[in-house]
A and B are shown apart, each in its own frame.
Chain A
Amino acid sequence: DIQMTQSPSTLSASVGDRVTITCRASQSISAWLAWYQQRPGKAPDLLIYKASTLKSGVPSRFSGSGSGTEFTLTISSLQPDDFATYYCLQYNTYPNTFGQGTKLEIK
């Protein structure tokens, strides 16, 4: 199975900050990676797929990059609504696997 390792597990930041979350795959997954945002008590929302394609309707302050085994999610200027938990997902191979999550907290 492909292991997805996210870092950091927790990130403290302030409104207006630029933040980056990293996801590493245990083997190459080409660009078959997605990023999700999950608020407490809610279902996850798709932000980015195919590593860097922004889903329609998602604010442009979110961006993704990477290919192969290393990927990043960047939020260019944090807004209050962005404090949530973020997950990466590889869908290159079954079983599909998620990273363990990054909780983005208000500093």
Chain B
Amino acid sequence: EVQLLESGGGLVQPGGSLRLSCAASGFTFNNYAMSWVRQAPGKGLEWVSTITGSGGGTFYADSVRGRFTISRDNSKNTLYLQMNSLRAEDTAVHYCVRLRGTPNSAFDIWGQGTLVTVSS
């Protein structure tokens, strides 16, 4: 069974940092591009970042570029999102998502999400 399990969310002060992790299982991890998608409380979905299967290519939303870094460790079947200089508007459930294949494909499998709250 394909599974994505996020961890690392929590409460952080504005300007602080947090690293999210996503443990993948049930598929050949390095064959798939992966993404992070977030959803602020009561709001819609927002794409955050995507990384290619090899990790050699990355894409970011303008709202996080320069503050967030997506990465992966294919030997550990794990996706990461390093979040720095956090702002109140980053408060959201952050979902780890597997794409159907390449970076130019639909978001296929979603984790259960991890909540990041930025507040003093």
Contacts and interface: CB of A to CB of B under 8 A. Distances in A.
Interface of A: 32, 34, 36, 38, 43-46, 49-50, 55, 87, 89, 91-92, 94-101
10 contacts: A36-B107, A43-B111, A44-B95, A44-B107, A49-B105, A49-B106, A55-B108, A89-B107, A95-B47, A97-B47
A45 B44 contact: no
B110 A45 contact: yes
A46 B106 contact: yes
Interface of B: 35, 44-47, 50, 59, 61-62, 95, 100, 104-113
B106 A89 contact: yes
A36 B113 CA distance: 16
Contacts of A92: 104
Given A49-B100, A95-B61, A95-B62, A44 B45 contact: yes
Given A44-B110, A46-B106, A96-B50, 20 more contacts: A43-B111, A43-B112, A44-B45, A46-B107, A46-B108, A49-B100, A50-B106, A55-B108, A87-B45, A89-B45, A89-B47, A89-B107, A91-B105, A94-B59, A96-B35, A98-B46, A98-B47, A99-B44, A100-B44, A101-B45
